[in-house]
Chains A and B, each alone.
Chain A
Amino acid sequence: MIIAERKPLEDIQEMITGYKKILILGCGTCVTICWAGGEKEVAVLSSQLRLASKKNGNELAILEDTIERQCEKELIEVLKDKVQQADAVLSMACGIGVQTVAEIFPDVPVYPALNTKFMGMPEREGVWVETCRACGDCFLDKTGGICPIVRCAKGLLNGPCGGTNNGKCEVDPEKDCAWTLIYRKLERQGRLDVMRKYYPPRNFQTVIRPGKIETLQA
């Protein structure tokens, strides 16, 4: 799932200076699960902004709402009257949500409250770690299900590099060396021959921005 983290408060305050009434819009899917933009965090951010505005003496009204998903046009259109009332929208969704709202309501300024960090999974309660970078040409079949592009500091395709010492990465001694993990996994499954092949560097040329997928409406 998509993992995001809230921006520092001053950045958010800078964005919304001058507006009298804003709508803080939470998203109920990925950013709720990673404790960044769910209904709870919407309430916390609103409370902080109200406190700050009271303290600095500027007047600010805040509407709070959280919808199921902000990456779905139909779900956002429903917010029409609420958005009309606000001078600006502060979206606590990932980048996708912010842009969808901006697209649906072109004349209302939409600001991101979060930094969308990466796609990943929870390591333990409250800790998320990146495991996939959507490089567009999955390599996991050759590494026993461990992605070196993300989890190897240098993103090597034919690791490990010379710097690994007993399974730890030279860049960050805390981190496991991805290629050592890959080696052990393949060894365990008896597929070490997969590592003997040489894999040419990725041709990132083929990735045209922005990515698009067209499926026939079958």
Chain B
Amino acid sequence: MDSELRLGVFLCDCGNTLSKAIDFSTIKTDLENLPDVTYVNISHDLCLETAQKAMQKDIEDKGVNRVVVAACSPELYEKGLISVIQAAGVNPHLLSIANIREQCFWAHPDKTKAAKKATTQIKLALNRARFLEPVEKTRIPVNRDVLVIGGGIVGIEAALELSNLNLKTTLIEKEAILGGKLNQFPNLYPLQVNPEEMLAARLKDITERQNIDVLTSAELIDVNGEVGNFSARIKESNEEVVRNFGAIIFASGYNTQFSSQIYGFELSNNIITQSKLEEILKFSSEVKEIPKSVCFIVDVSGEHSRVSTLSALRNALGIKEKFGSEVCILCRNLKIDGAGLEKLYRDCRNNGVLFIKFDHLPEISKQNGKIKIEVEDVLVSEEQVSISYDLLVVEETSVPPPDSRFLSSALNIGLDTQGFYQENNIHLYPTASNREGIFFAGNCHADLDLMRALTEASNVALNAYQLLAQEKITVEAERVIVDPNKCRFCLTCIRACPHHAIREVEVDHEKMAAQIVDLACQGCGICAVVCPAKAIKCKDGSDEQILSELEPFGEHV
């Protein structure tokens, strides 16, 4: 590292507005006689092309190796200034910015105080600059294969799109055949698409692709490693195989489960679940005695689920079309916040489906072979309605795939309060997990209708492609680094890292130490704080840099 500090300070008076309060020339003279400051310049528009070109030239001519800029907020122009100093041959991490506009001149009307603060802030930026360390970029080879877990429509769609982006994909499915819910649904209302044809077309497409490798009745057991080289242990019809991947996409969907305690009664021949009804509708030709009247009940065990209301509406219309029987739907709030769902609801009504809204749970009893239902219809001033139907179709709760709890702890990826993948607060990045290189799509982590699930499928495909587009990923090496001699291998940092970006590694073949995976690290610095031996250093925001900004106190009036 260049031993001798040569600080270059570039002040910007923002079109000479800041100079109304801040006397830039005195600051310039003060700075010039500080020991390691080699160059000070004042300009009026450092955010514009001309001034930046001049700045680059100054850096090169004066041999500046640390750049301090006193201007407006780094949030606006940090990236631009970084490319300028990079063009001048200075490492991008050797830039320290003093915010003398938004957080000084504009925020403090009292001009003398604002001027005083500006000088302090420039001095702080100088202090920080003295402790900046360069971070070099390296290119890390990555495995470009992608693992897609779950052979439902979302897994299939993601695999096809990844293949379009010529990434090699391995699609694993627990069951013996691909298709997931597509094999189960009789129709895909509100979309006028036949599920079998849709599935058949996609399966044909998959078989024609050379870069999609399908493993059925295969399950993921465990994954080691980080983004760029995950090694996944997959059990395929009870023999285990280990394969390497660069990214992993979870598309394992959801299961449904009937909970009799919530309803207070068991299933029987005339109380069936939605999935049982879907079987009947699918093989409607073999049904011997057709139910003349069918009643659906929703919003009991899955009050906030889009999927359960959607399957009720879909199956109601299916029955009307196939058997023409009398249909009624009991619900609290119809969940129709999806494309075409309101229209599906209107189609049901136009086909004579009756809708009864309840607030208190209806009483359900059996009477001479029929189901008797007493419900207070809220829309008709809570008048007690008593109806009886041949068949009652009850709602199932959607539950996460059985292995989600196990895989979540094995892979250190979070679950939400219902046990589905992905903590609640990743709303900002819907398909991201807390770990780089692991993505979620479809109903394994959210409650989605088909069109939303397909959108997520192509999102994760593009995210994985963007990560693995090249053989090698350029990444900033050792932005956060563990000193193996000081590391006591107490595992605190490995447990604390929210992105699971720290792994165990052997140091000179006998001592174990923690090591930060640059590709997976997001630079938050939590590990550096929790480390009891102070063995971890962040080059962006190191302890020395932070403490150096506490320096010049006690000089106020």
Contact = CB atoms under 8 A, between A and B. Distances in A.
B20 interface: no
Interface stretch (A35-43, A75-83, A151-159, A184-192): A35-43
Contacts of A38: 488, 532-534
B292 interface: no
B367 to A, nearest CB: 44
A33 interface: yes
B496 A28 contact: no
B486 interface: yes
B496 A125 contact: yes
Q: Is the interface of B mostly helix, strand, loop or mixed?
A: loop
Contacts of B533: 28, 32, 38-40, 66
Nearest to A1: B490
A29 interface: yes
Contacts of B531: 40
Contacts of B486: 28, 39
Contacts of B495: 125
B492 A41 contact: no
A29 B486 CA distance: 10
Interface residues of A, number: 12
Interface string B132-166: 00000000000000000000000000000000000
A27 B496 CA distance: 22
A28 B487 CA distance: 9
Interface string A28-71: 11001101001111010000000000000000000000100000
Contacts of B492: 35, 125
A201 to B, nearest CB: 38
Interface in B96-114: none
A28 B532 CA distance: 9
A39 B534 contact: yes
B490 A32 contact: yes
Interface in B504-557: 531-534
Interface residues of B, number: 10
A39 B486 CA distance: 10
B532 A35 contact: yes
Nearest to B496: A125
Given A28-B488, A38-B488, A39-B486, A33 B532 contact: yes
Contacts of A35: 492, 532
Contact of A33 (B488, B496, B534): B488
A125 B495 CA distance: 7
Contacts of A41: 532
Contacts of A32: 488, 490, 532-533
Contacts of A28: 486, 488, 533
A29 to B, nearest CB: 7
Contacts of B496: 125
B534 A43 contact: yes
A40 B488 contact: no
A124 to B, nearest CB: 8
B440 to A, nearest CB: 25
A33 B488 CA distance: 7
Nearest to A33: B490
B182 to A, nearest CB: 43
A64 to B, nearest CB: 11
A40 B534 CA distance: 6
B502 to A, nearest CB: 14
A38 B533 CA distance: 5
A39 B215 CA distance: 51
A184 B533 CA distance: 40
A81 B28 CA distance: 45
Q: Which of A32, A40, A41, A66 has the most CB of B within 10 A?
A: A32
Contacts of A39: 486, 532-534
A23 B488 CA distance: 22
A34 B100 CA distance: 44
Interface string B423-459: 0000000000000000000000000000000000000
B538 to A, nearest CB: 15
B527 to A, nearest CB: 12
Max chain A C-beta neighbours (<10 A), residue from B531, B532, B533: B532
Interface string B272-287: 0000000000000000
A39 B543 CA distance: 14
Contacts of B490: 32-33
Contacts of A33: 488, 490, 532
A29 B488 contact: yes
A35 B533 CA distance: 9
Interface in A90-139: 125
* Most chain B CB inside 10 Å of its own CB: which residue of A29, A38, A41, A125: A38
Contacts of A43: 534
A28 B533 CA distance: 7
7 contacts: A28-B486, A32-B532, A33-B488, A38-B532, A39-B486, A40-B533, A41-B532
Interface of A: 28-29, 32-33, 35, 38-41, 43, 66, 125
Interface of B: 486, 488, 490, 492, 495-496, 531-534
- The 8 A-B residue pairs with the shortest CB-CB distance in the complex, in nearest-first order: A38-B532, A33-B490, A39-B534, A32-B532, A35-B532, A38-B533, A32-B488, A40-B532
Given A38-B532, A38-B534, A41-B532, 17 more contacts: A28-B486, A28-B488, A28-B533, A29-B488, A32-B488, A32-B533, A33-B532, A35-B532, A38-B488, A39-B532, A40-B531, A40-B532, A40-B534, A43-B534, A125-B492, A125-B495, A125-B496
